[in-house]
Amino acid sequence: MDEAKDFKGYLTYTGMGIFVVVAYFTFIGVYLLRKVLPLPTMMAPYC
């Protein structure tokens, strides 16, 4: 019982950590892209 609870908490904690890291790197990437490219990032093609 305790092991399953700890595992679920670990998964939740890891998911939150991954989400924070991805959001952080996305923010950095968009910021650098906007500094390098004069055109707005919204107009740049995503594919």
Residue 19: give the domain boundaries.
Answer: 2-37
Nearest 5°: the CA angle 24, 29, 18 is: 30
CA distance 27 to 33: 10
Q: Give me 43's structure tokens.
A: 């107009």
Q: What is the three-class DSSP state of 24? A: helix
In a domain, 27, yes or no: yes
46 in a structural domain = no
Q: Residue 23 pLDDT more than 90?
A: yes
- Residue 4: what pLDDT? 79
Domain total for the chain? 1
Tokens of 32: 């650098």
The answer to whether position 30 is within a domain reads yes
Share of the chain above pLDDT 90, in %: 30
Whether the model pTM is above 0.75: no
Q: How confident is the model at residue 35 (pLDDT cuts 50, 70, 90)?
A: confident
Model pLDDT, residue 47:
43
Name the token pair of 21.
């890291």
Residue 9 maps to a domain: yes
